[in-house]
Chain A
Amino acid sequence: MLLYLLVALLASWLAPYDPLEISGSPCESPGPDHLFGTNDFGQDLFSMLLLGSRATLLFGFLGACISAGLGTGLGVFSGFLGGRTDRVISGTLDVLMTIPQLPLLLVLSIYLRPGLYLLCGVMGLLGSLTQARIIRAKVLSLSTENFVYAAKGLGLSDFHIMFRYILPSVFPLTFVKFLFGAQHYMLLGVGLSFLGLGDPEIVDWGQMLHQVYSGGGFALGLWNWFLPPCFAMVGLSFSLSLLGYSLEPWLSPQLRHEKQAFFECD
């Protein structure tokens, strides 16, 4: 994970060529000049891979940030304030959630002719709906807990309780969802570019895959062209989800009572 982040940050120093520059002849085999060879355009694949990590990571993390942030905010508000606010928000969520995400994204990416950020925003927005639901459920169960009553009893303001008491309690959940979200959005972003719907000016792995695929590199067995972005993506996605899965039991309340019953800690 860290390695990926590091590569993304240092990409411009590490990359030997400008990824869009034509630095060699088309379809060179891997060699000392071009570590992974070149594509049909003569662009250096190694540089593309390195710099592509940026857009891909950005896509995943930005989307996840938006969805986690917005979802948590909405969920906390709706769950904690309850009453009419809650009914309005959760009703809207219910309705909005039935809108299929991928088709909407596909349509939008065609018609918004999007920058990366816009797509991220839309994705995050859609993702925040589910997130908000989960957080709301959690907050609802939290607000019946004694410490919240106690805080209310102390006469603390709603906002104070929300920020000081509720937010820290839901944070672990948010974080886990953030990790899964990052993985999900990354794959989604790569998928969109793979369909050829991404921003043509930004190099990312999905676009690289798209080029290989539509350029016939896959069917013709040009492994040096096809495998690096594939492995990079799978590796990143795998490590993200492993991280999420191993953190989830630690942070989510779901599996808590397994042993708690015996220790009866209050």
Chain B
Amino acid sequence: MNLKSFKFRILKENSLQPVRSWFCLLFILGLFLPACILPAGASVIPGDSSGDTCVSDEELASSILSYMEYSYLGKEEPHLSAEELSLAAHNFRHIPYGRVVIPVSSEGDFITPNIWYKMGVPTGSLIYEGLVTRNRDGNYDSWLAESWNSSKDAKVWTFRLKEAKWQDGEPVSSEDVKFTHDYLKDKKLKLAFVLNSVERVECPDARTAIFYLENPDPTFPDRLSHSPGIAIFPKHIWENVENPASYDEYASGDTHFIGSGPFRYKAAERGQYFLLEANEAYHGDSPYVKEVALKLIPDASSRLFALQSGEIDVLPEITPVEAEKLKGKDNIKVYNIPDATGYEIAFNCELFPTNDPLFRQALSHAVNRENASNTLGNAEPTETVFLLPDLAHDFVNPDCIRKYDYDIEKTRAIFKASDNFSVDSDGKVRYKNGDQIHLKIPLGGKAHMNRADEKILNAIKMDWEDKLGFDVEFEVVPKDIYLEEIGESPIFIDGMPGTMHDDVEDLNNFYRSPAGSNYYHYDNPKYNRLMEELKNTTDRDKRKEIGYRMQAVLAEDVPTIPVCSTGTLVAYRTDRFTGWESVMPLQAGILDKKVFLNIKPVSSQAS
């Protein structure tokens, strides 16, 4: 019955020609095409009305010169407008001027002192300050602390504070330091583990704070200054906060974000922007820029658009591909902050076949670091050292550098000499019984940005498979079980945590305490003894000497093969602010006090 009525069911849709639908499609696309062909109109930099455009010192000098020439010699008119001259004067006389806009990718990146769940105040915070801060020379800069020293056994650390003021006018006192310590521990905040070794803090006077440690700790300033570092909080505000877990600083009225840093809170719109202004009462040199705006742009593409259109002035943490493509654009410059983050091929020294030191040594020669770094685009090859020379400086044992250069022949030679392996005529390495060497390497899923580890492994895999005849297989492992997975894998790639390789103390990574284990399942009694010795040594030269010996042991055992260290690529607009490259922050991207104290507005000749 239905079939018959089907026949009569004619509908008008069917009479529509299919051609017309394509016409519609073209029509819609046609609407957008003109807009795509038109030149980008957004090259005008917004915000000039508020006086962002400035001149540099040189320009000021030359303009004054030409003005003098005009006045005294009757020559041509000066080039600069009155406004530009006044801006130049601002720079010259160090009066804060202009606003720099930086994108942040998530709300968490706003400098909120949410000390309960987050890692604490970032060391790069512009509002809050710690006692000391580490610099790239392996030394410390003073921050809130004017000077510091330790007792001979490195158990008592005394900090002498600067004469600083909180941004609400209260003086910074040693009570605040003590309060910060007590507060973190009393409220069992996440950050408390940094201060675990501190027994108590004493304040003999308003500007002296003394930390008493349970064990000697020659690197205590290191602990305080980074990963993640401790910032000092104003006691008079935080002592009223019972439960930091639900303390909402945005809603706290006049006591918004009171710190002691070079910038102070000006305005904020939750989830939109965070605006800071120069703190004129700062105890150090006040910044050249008047305002710093952190703007939330969660989307990577939007960030790039914003940089190109001048909405933002600087874009940190871009990918190498983005850097490559941005280099050609007008008014945009890209630079690399060599970083303490790196990648290594780590071994599990207990599992077969990586429990054989010869195997590890042999593979160390088979890593083409040059190649691997190139695939990343922002990386520098690091030779077989377990501390980064860039950061650890003279703590690096010179004998260990270039010990394992890239040489497949050497690899083959080591394998040939080994009892467990054989090398056939093609140069392929086999187990003694003729089996192929099979390596399964876990990859951390999408956990790692830009899949850098995958790129590195891909570069190395070719050598290992083609030249050595291994069978290398990657296994993508979800982020949350990755840690378990690498515990059971003989070979894995590891991102060297930032600033972990800058001090001999960090060689602790390879130490096996009587109770615990380490990442590499590495256990060398000689090394462990050296480590214990190091922990009880405070003398710098002695520590260096022990460090050398430890590195020598490691170079022999090769629990890991450092491959390369990466940097943070930053793009900035050249027509807005200058001085980005004058300071290379140690970590935390460019959101570093030192960077923002150094940048200056530039003049834009075009305007």
Contact = CB atoms under 8 A, between A and B. Distances in A.
Interface of A: 22, 26-27, 40-42, 113, 147, 169, 196, 200-201, 213-220, 222, 238, 242, 245-246, 249-250, 255-256, 258-260, 263, 265-266
Contacts of B319: 40, 215-216
Nearest to B25: A238
Interface string B410-452: 0000000000000000000000000000000000011000110
Nearest to A217: B321
Interface centre among A40, A169, A217, by most chain B C-beta atoms within 10 angstroms, is: A40
B9 A26 contact: no
B4 A200 contact: no
Among A26, A242, A255, which residue has the most Cβ atoms of chain B within 10 A?
Answer: A26
Contacts of B308: 219
Q: Which 9 A-B pairs have the closest CB atoms?
A: A219-B304, A40-B321, A216-B322, A220-B325, A219-B301, A249-B11, A218-B301, A113-B478, A219-B305
Given A22-B458, A245-B13, A216 B8 contact: no
Interface in B370-403: 375, 377
B202 interface: no
Contacts of B302: 219
Given A215-B300, A263-B5, 9 more contacts: A147-B1, A200-B445, A214-B301, A216-B300, A217-B321, A259-B8, A260-B5, A265-B4, A265-B5
30 contacts: A26-B377, A40-B450, A41-B451, A41-B455, A147-B1, A196-B446, A200-B445, A200-B476, A214-B300, A215-B322, A216-B318, A216-B319, A216-B325, A219-B300, A219-B303, A219-B305, A220-B325, A222-B325, A245-B13, A246-B13, A249-B9, A249-B14, A250-B6, A250-B14, A255-B11, A256-B5, A256-B9, A259-B9, A265-B4, A265-B5
A25 to B, nearest CB: 9
Given A41-B455, A201-B476, A265 B8 contact: yes
B326 to A, nearest CB: 7
Nearest to B451: A41
Contacts of A22: 458
B2 interface: yes
Contacts of B8: 259-260, 263, 265
Contacts of B38: none
A249 B326 contact: no
A140 to B, nearest CB: 16
A247 to B, nearest CB: 10
Contacts of A216: 300-301, 304, 318-319, 321-322, 325
A220 B322 CA distance: 7
B9 A255 contact: yes
A246 B11 CA distance: 10
Secondary structure at the A interface, as helix, strand, loop or mixed, is loop
Interface residues of B, number: 38
Nearest to A223: B36
Contacts of A214: 300-301
B21 interface: yes
A259 B10 contact: yes
Contacts of B25: 238
A189 to B, nearest CB: 17
Given A260-B8, A263-B8, A265-B8, A215 B321 contact: yes
B324 interface: yes
Most buried by B among A27, A201, A259, A265: A265
Nearest to A246: B13
Nearest to A260: B5
A242 B301 CA distance: 32
Contacts of A263: 5, 8
A39 to B, nearest CB: 9
Interface in B300-335: 300-305, 308, 318-322, 324-326
A249 B13 contact: yes
Contacts of A242: 21
A168 to B, nearest CB: 9
A19 B187 CA distance: 52
A77 B302 CA distance: 50
B38 to A, nearest CB: 14
Contacts of B21: 242
A180 to B, nearest CB: 15
Nearest to B11: A249
Interface in B470-513: 476, 478
A147 B319 CA distance: 68
A246 B12 CA distance: 10
Contacts of B320: 26, 40
B94 to A, nearest CB: 36
A204 B308 CA distance: 30
A80 to B, nearest CB: 17
B9 A266 contact: no
A219 B303 CA distance: 9
A218 B319 CA distance: 13
Given A26-B321, A214-B300, A215-B321, A220 B326 contact: yes
A216 B1 CA distance: 59
A191 B305 CA distance: 22
Contacts of A41: 451, 455
Interface string B206-237: 00000000000000000000000000000000
A196 B303 CA distance: 18
A35 B302 CA distance: 28
Nearest to B377: A26
Nearest to A145: B1
A259 B11 CA distance: 9
A217 B320 CA distance: 12
B77 to A, nearest CB: 42
Contacts of A259: 8-10
A164 to B, nearest CB: 14
A221 to B, nearest CB: 8
A96 to B, nearest CB: 28
